[in-house]
């Protein structure tokens, strides 16, 4: 997933989607009683969180992240 630290062009970095999903599940944002997309967006943008970055809303990576989180939750339910 391509991200921009502090929403700055000079702060571009990449992190595997699976790692972002793992970090989300370890965060307090995961337990928020909000729709998943809202919780994930807040987690990503949280300046005090492990990501603190913006993402490209048009490249499909946010949707891939949501899918990865849902898949992880379903896998946990099967174990």
Residues 16-75 pLDDT 10s = 999 999 999 999 999 999 999 999 999 999 999 999 999 999 999 999 999 999 999 998
47/28 Cα distance (integer angstroms): 14
Predicted TM-score of the model (pTM): 0.91
| Number of Cβ atoms within 10 Å of the Cβ of 77 | 7
Question: And the tokens for 30?
Answer: 């995961």
pLDDT value, residue 44? 97
CB 66 within 8 A of CB 36: yes
pLDDT at 3 over 90: yes
Residue 48, pLDDT score: 94
DSSP state, residue 59: S
Distance of CA 50 to the CA centre of its chain: 10
Beta carbons within 8 Å of 47's beta carbon, 6+ residues apart: 6
């Amino acid at each position: 997933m391509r991200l921009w630290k502090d929403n700055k062009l000079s702060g571009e970095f990449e992190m595997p989607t699976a790692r972002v999903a793992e970090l989300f599940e370890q965060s307090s944002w995961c337990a928020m009683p909000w729709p998943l997309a809202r919780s994930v967006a807040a987690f990503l943008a949280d300046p005090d969180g492990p990501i603190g970055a913006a993402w490209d809303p048009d490249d499909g990576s946010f949707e891939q992240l949501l899918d990865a989180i849902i898949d992880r939750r379903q896998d946990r339910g099967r174990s």
